[in-house]
A and B are shown apart, each in its own frame.
Chain A
Amino acid sequence: EIVMTQSPATLSVSPGERATLSCRASQSVSSNLAWYQQKPGQAPRLLMYGASTRATGIPARFSGSGSGTEFSLTISSLQSEDFAVYYCQQYNNWPPRTFGQGTRLEIK
């Protein structure tokens, strides 16, 4: 089973600033890595797939990078609606499809 590890667990950032979230896989997942955003009481929403391709309707301030075992999600200028929990997920080698434990992005 591929273990996905996200860091940090919580990230405190001020609106307008840049945030970078990290995700590490226990073995290579190539570029088969997705990011999801989840707000309280809501379902997850796809942000990014293929490690760096934005999903439909996702603003350009979101960008993803990485391949193999190291990935990152960057939000260039945080808006109020961006404060949420973010999960990475590998879909390269399954079952099981594994998620990271999540990074909570909170307002500083």
Chain B
Amino acid sequence: EVQLLEYGGGLVQPGGSLRLSCAASGFTFSSYAMSWVRQAPGKGLEWVSAIGNNGDSTYYADSVKGQFTISRDNSRNSLYLQMNSLRADDTAVYYCAKGSSGWPYYFDGWGQGTLVIVSS
């Protein structure tokens, strides 16, 4: 069974930084692309970033390009999101999502999310 556990969220001041982590289990992590998706309070889903299975390709939403960095460590079955220069509108629950097999891929597994609050 796919299990994804995000952690690292919390309260951070505007302009601050935070690093989110996602621990994966139940599947061969190194074989699948992964993404981060966020959801602001009371709002819909917004794709944030994606990374290829071996980390060689990364993609970002325009809203976070140059601000966030996605990475992974396949030896630790872990996905990361480094978030810098945080703003109030980055406040959201951040989910990690597993890409399906095949191409193009959809999201066939989701973590429970970690809440990031950007506020002074």
Contact = CB atoms under 8 A, between A and B. Distances in A.
Interface of A: 32, 34, 36, 38, 42-46, 49, 55, 87, 89, 91-92, 94-102
B45 A43 contact: no
Task: Kindly name the residue among B44, B60, B109 whose own CB sees the greatest number of chain A CB atoms within 10 A.
Answer: B44
Contacts of B46: 99
A43 B44 contact: no
Given A43-B110, A91-B106, A97 B47 contact: yes
B35 to A, nearest CB: 7
Which 6 A-B pairs have CB atoms at the shortest separation, nearest pair first?
A97-B47, A43-B110, A34-B106, A95-B59, A99-B45, A49-B106
11 contacts: A34-B107, A44-B107, A46-B107, A49-B108, A55-B108, A87-B44, A91-B104, A92-B104, A94-B59, A95-B59, A97-B50
Interface of B: prevailing SS: strand
Interface of B: 35, 37, 44-47, 50, 59-62, 95, 100, 104-113
A94 B37 CA distance: 14
A99 B47 contact: yes
Contact of A44 (B59, B60, B110): B110
A61 to B, nearest CB: 20
Task: Kindly name the residue among B59, B95, B107, B108 whose own CB sees the greatest number of chain A CB atoms within 10 A.
Answer: B107
Given A44-B45, A49-B106, A96 B111 contact: no
Task: Kindly name the residue among A38, A95, A97, A98 whose own CB sees the greatest number of chain B CB atoms within 10 A.
Answer: A97
Given A44-B95, A95-B50, A32 B107 contact: no
A43 B63 CA distance: 22
Contacts of B100: 49
A36 B59 CA distance: 22
A94 B107 CA distance: 14
